[in-house]
Structure 1
């Protein structure tokens, strides 16, 4: 049995750890509310962009824009969204394992794919396992602005337009609720018929000038960049929710550990007192 001093030291250190995890839980809770608001605020813009794409790309079947034309797949681009910090439970591991499983199933040669990573955890994870990271963006703010991620989004679009990659898939943790998120993959490029029909179609009766093809040249890159940004907002909400739950679980575990250690401390103290009484009684009897 550990000594009273050792048990008391463990109780004090666990209480300090609980204070830290409780504070981190409250911070993540606050960040989650802001992330939910950001994602909800961005939704109307996404709806209008999808309306425009539906009205133009959905009816312009003869368009030769590279984002709408499926070509032979020689090299695939994978974009994965992770966090810059840990302590978020299985948030990073789940989405990274999902992407790696798909890569290993589809490809035999590293030359057949290119990886774009957002978040330091993803960069370290992949590099430690021998995967080549073509592009990376770290130190992403907890409440990212479009400007903060526009460069990496534009880089992904440019890789496709320049035919360095023939498909672009994004992997992220989709936010469902405070207690649930799901590793999700989505094909961004080329735009599939499902992508082109996701809008509400409220602009189908509009007339466009100068012409639909010219508008597509400007609209489609912006649309893909906005999809990537919307995905990042979704992933950030999942990250904050995962970290909040992880810190809550850590605080609950610390409470249980403190209770168990306190019980052990009381038993050890009672044993020590009993031993002291026994020694006093024994010594008294010896004197008689």
Structure 2
């Protein structure tokens, strides 16, 4: 076998090995999407119920107040951006889209005279900003999928403390969440949404002029003090789980594309190897025929 054929055979073997890896990762990601989506569906009703409950308290109690419900919280000019990215590679454009959305939001805040403060989840986002000498204020990386609930609680406690802090160097006026919403297995969207100050509407339908009777125990203000931290935590946990489901879907698509590309390379080098083999055979036949013609022309015969 010629050197050229050996090179092609090595490349074919390498592409076949990579194809097996990509296919395996694609199948693993596909198997995890359904479970991740089920967790999203399980946490969404709880967050929606908390929204309705807080809306009921805020709407039907004039005495209840909470710092997160204040429309004007401007004190320090600092605005938190919680960015959720992947903790590993091979996820296609998943992390890139989330980072781009966060960058666009940060530029908008700077134009408004505010100071964006980055809170980053995932090694991809952390590495992106550290490489550009813009270290995040706080980063959570690495993290694992089974720990999303406890991770969300830790993030919520940290952000809530900074939002309620009286220190001008720590206090946050607003909180934005930037993550990837899981719309379907084939469609995900990176979006930014404001969580604080909260905009709540009583979701209960009622006849105009007739209001339902509410009774809060022990009182409306204490109820808000209990509900709002849980609401913030539930929204962060829900977004973490949506982002994880989106990450699995992005990984599946990326690995499917990589598998197809590996097969394309296998087909390409197989054709080149066959062409080189045919060329060697043709060359050998040509040399044999040429040698026979030379012997015939000289008048000599082989013994």
Q: Is the 8 A contact 2:43 2:234 kept in 1?
A: no
Q: Distance in 1 between matches of 2:239 and 2:203?
A: 16
- 2:176 aligned with 1:169: yes
Count residues with an aligned counterpart: 285
3-state SS in 2 of match to 1:282: helix
Using the TM superposition, give the Cα deviation of residue 15 of structure 1 relative to its aligned residue in structure 2, in angstroms: 0.3
Using the TM superposition, give the Cα deviation of residue 211 of structure 1 relative to its aligned residue in structure 2, in angstroms: 1.1
Question: CA, structure 1 residues 199+223, in 2 after alignment: closer, same or farther (shift >3 Å)?
Answer: farther
Question: CA, structure 1 residues 216+92, in 2 after alignment: closer, same or farther (shift >3 Å)?
Answer: same
Question: CA, structure 1 residues 108+64, in 2 after alignment: closer, same or farther (shift >3 Å)?
Answer: same
Work out which of the residue numbers 88, 91, 94 in structure 2 matches 1:91: 94
Work out which of the residue numbers 69, 72, 75 in structure 1 matches 2:74: 72
Q: Is the 8 A contact 2:148 2:240 kept in 1?
A: no
Aligned to 1:50: 51
Q: Distance in 1 between matches of 2:293 and 2:9?
A: 34
Aligned to 2:215: 207
Using the TM superposition, give the Cα deviation of residue 127 of structure 1 relative to its aligned residue in structure 2, in angstroms: 1.0
Question: CA, structure 1 residues 30+217, in 2 after alignment: closer, same or farther (shift >3 Å)?
Answer: same
Q: Distance in 1 between matches of 2:164 and 2:285?
A: 85
Q: TM-score, normalised by structure 2?
A: 0.88
Work out which of the residue numbers 225, 231, 238 in structure 1 matches 2:233: 225
Question: CA, structure 1 residues 284+58, in 2 after alignment: closer, same or farther (shift >3 Å)?
Answer: farther
Using the TM superposition, give the Cα deviation of residue 268 of structure 1 relative to its aligned residue in structure 2, in angstroms: 1.2
Q: Distance in 2 between matches of 1:277 and 1:66?
A: 89
Structure 2 unaligned regions, length at least 5: 297-303
Aligned to 1:275: 283
Using the TM superposition, give the Cα deviation of residue 171 of structure 1 relative to its aligned residue in structure 2, in angstroms: 0.4
Work out which of the residue numbers 162, 167, 171 in structure 2 matches 1:159: 162
Q: What's the CA shift string for 1:176-210, capped at 9, x where partnerless? A: 12222111001010102xxx127456995442111
Which one has a bigger Cα radius of gyration? 2
Q: Distance in 2 between matches of 1:250 and 1:3?
A: 26
Using the TM superposition, give the Cα deviation of residue 111 of structure 1 relative to its aligned residue in structure 2, in angstroms: 8.2
Aligned to 1:124: 127
Q: Which moved more, 1:117-126 or 1:36-45?
A: 36-45
Q: Distance in 2 between matches of 1:133 and 1:181?
A: 25
Q: What's the CA shift string for 1:204-239, capped at 9, x where partnerless? A: 544211111111011101111111101111111100
Q: Is the 8 A contact 1:47 1:199 kept in 2?
A: no
Structure 1 unaligned regions, length at least 5: none
Q: Distance in 2 between matches of 1:106 and 1:17?
A: 44
Aligned to 2:300: none
The alignment yields a C-alpha RMSD, in angstroms, of 2.3
Equivalent runs, 1:24-43 vs 2, <5 Å: 24-43=25-44
Work out which of the residue numbers 236, 239, 251 in structure 1 matches 2:244: 236
Q: Which moved more, 1:209-218 or 1:139-148?
A: 139-148
- 2:289 aligned with 1:256: no
Question: CA, structure 1 residues 274+225, in 2 after alignment: closer, same or farther (shift >3 Å)?
Answer: same
Q: Distance in 2 between matches of 1:198 and 1:117?
A: 32
Q: What's the CA shift string for 1:69-89, capped at 9, x where partnerless? A: 122261111100001101100
- 2:107 aligned with 1:100: no
